Structure 1
């Protein structure tokens, strides 16, 4: 959200910037995009007053690499954070002792410190900076926002917590700056509270707020994977139960201001057993659940595979992906997952 370009405030200083990120929310879960069973009046109003990106992609379907790209503006294969940072044994019911957790991936892995994130860039431009909500780029102190460009941090440094206890599978995981805190309340409301406080403290200077909610993703609790939001939110859904639902830099500002079309014509993905490319109107994907070539201009639902009828396009898109993959392999390596 930017201050209006013609306001007195914007003529005196740079615009304030609030970057809001939700977790595991599909475009079909927003009223402005036609959702029938999602009540999102604030998002709908923001969309009506701003820009709706109808062909917008993240760089990965997984939390950690996707957020790493939001923070750095670089493909996960470049910034090194191309896998999830999480302790896999919790999937089998294991509860980590404090001694075990101290040496676990969630405690020892994080974004390569050589990466430059948006907080560092905004801070160097004279902005007050804050990261509130889900950081997901490392829990050790050297990985926390306060060591990487942000003046203030309140939230979870890892990939998920329980919405009410703020623990991650029994491990306390809510931070203020670099210290664990224990507070009562629904985590998302606490994030909103902290965001408003930060804005209030910095209303007289340019500020950048990275507000990354954990919702509507599932909770991180071994005993129950459902979300129990405050009743006032459930009251918005009469007859429904929402708890059952589950680097080359590009200046986007002229695009968002409707001064130009987006110059980006290609996007590429690689994640475990999946790979994909979007080249012009064509999307090619190879994944366990889907495999094919699709013309998104005429088939946005990806229902008609053109692999057999358009082998020329298929070969071209695959070649573009191969070129990108070679470029990523030759990029300067970054930790923590790459072997170098």
Structure 2
């Protein structure tokens, strides 16, 4: 913690020394922009109207895309929840920040039922993101922002790992990977927290509605000062229920499910429930954006929406191959929308190769905040590019999880996995159907070499975890 406190001290000094980035980019408001970061959970690439899905009802997110910029080639740092979210909030590869794995016991996915005594000793309960990491919330708080998170944390359950110890002022949400949407339990064990304390006060309330209600109160209470609202919904993640019939699908309120026709098969009904959960989340996001406008804050609020990884149960990742948990495009390329009135062109479609690692430096730049020079960030500031500049975009990105590896360099994509491997030209083959390894052996060799160099750098990085003593 000494190193972390030193770095935060460096940040404070940098804030005093730097000239405001807002002045450089011509922000017409005197106050720093409010920031709203919305993350959906396991949402497919194709599962928004603005991404071409005419069967799903998402008018509010479609309007956000019409008023902002929609990304077509946006990637996250992992195909599963925990490392993806750690990369988002620290601006660093999960392999660098020590959170490249899930904090869980694999037996639960095989239907194994925990008892309370055993559950309390599993890795899911005792691990978390390395405490030396500096979260974006900590930097923004030093700069005068009030920070709130309402929804899924998933970066550690012990008190020292919780959001209030990482720069957030308010927290209402659950601390692990998934819950039952109504009981707020994970396989029968309570998971909801209010700030630093467990709570069952709102048991029975649909989680999406509950997180939205808490977020609206946060907006009301902090409308007079800069705020950072982090809203990581658990929709449309499959439910973590003791009932196996619920665990295999997504939960949504009956009144929203009725917007979609009953299916004839289990898969069709899973898709129905999934779409209903997305629609309910879309309605909630509409409520958030409406409240921002009612407070007269719309023109000075930067809004980001993305999914944490590719789609799971009930989702549609087309035209991409694969899904959550895989390094095919369907596991790591996700929908992303950014809106900032007067700063970013409305209705634009951005086809640059960019990633969630870019959001950390981009949001700090928008706020006019410096990041510590002593912390290695793996992304870059997108604002100059989004504002019409010709700055260089990302050239390469790497992924690793257990036995799976992948790299993208330019338009080339390389995947190595026991479940399938190959070399693909994404410009011509977005669905990764044609393996060009035999035709392009030199390209394949260079991709492997680049991945090995990145892997070596990550293995030398600190922290390296998560299985370490805190």
The offset of 1:326, in angstroms, is: 0.9
> 8 Å contact 2:84–2:94 — kept in the other structure?
yes
> 8 Å contact 2:100–2:465 — kept in the other structure?
no
Q: 1:234 maps to what in 2?
A: 257
Correspondent of 2:91 among 50, 64, 73: 73
The offset of 1:260, in angstroms, is: 4.0
TM-score by length of 1: 0.92
| Alignment root-mean-square deviation, CA | 2.2
Structure that is richer in helix per residue: 2
Correspondent of 2:100 among 75, 82, 99: 82
> 8 Å contact 2:98–2:462 — kept in the other structure?
no
**221-230 or 306-315, which deviates more:** 221-230
Structure 1 residue matching 2:132: 3-state secondary structure: coil
Correspondent of 1:259 among 389, 400, 409: 389
How many residues in Structure 1 have an aligned counterpart in Structure 2? 335
Structure 1 residue matching 2:252: 3-state secondary structure: coil
CA distance in 2, matches of 1:315, 1:222: 47
Structure 1 residue matching 2:71: 3-state secondary structure: coil
1:35 matches 2:65: no
The 1:160/1:333 distance shift into structure 2, 3 A limit, reads same
The offset of 1:252, in angstroms, is: 2.0
Correspondent of 1:211 among 224, 231, 242: 231
Q: Deviations over 1:265-312 (max 9, x none)?
A: 100001111100000110111123331111111111112111111111
CA distance in 2, matches of 1:128, 1:10: 21
Q: 1:153 maps to what in 2?
A: 171
Q: 2:206 maps to what in 1?
A: 186
Structure 2 residue matching 1:210: 3-state secondary structure: strand
CA distance in 2, matches of 1:107, 1:218: 20
The offset of 1:200, in angstroms, is: 1.0
TM-score by length of 2: 0.68
Q: Which has the higher contact order (CA 8 A, sep 6+)?
A: 2
1:304 matches 2:334: no
Segments of structure 2 that go 5 or more residues without pairing to the other structure are 1-21, 264-268, 275-313, 316-375
Segments of structure 1 that go 5 or more residues without pairing to the other structure are none
Structure 1 residue matching 2:69: 3-state secondary structure: coil
> 8 Å contact 2:101–2:466 — kept in the other structure?
no
CA distance in 2, matches of 1:41, 1:289: 37
The 1:323/1:44 distance shift into structure 2, 3 A limit, reads same
Q: Deviations over 1:110-147 (max 9, x none)?
A: 01110011111111111000111111001100000001
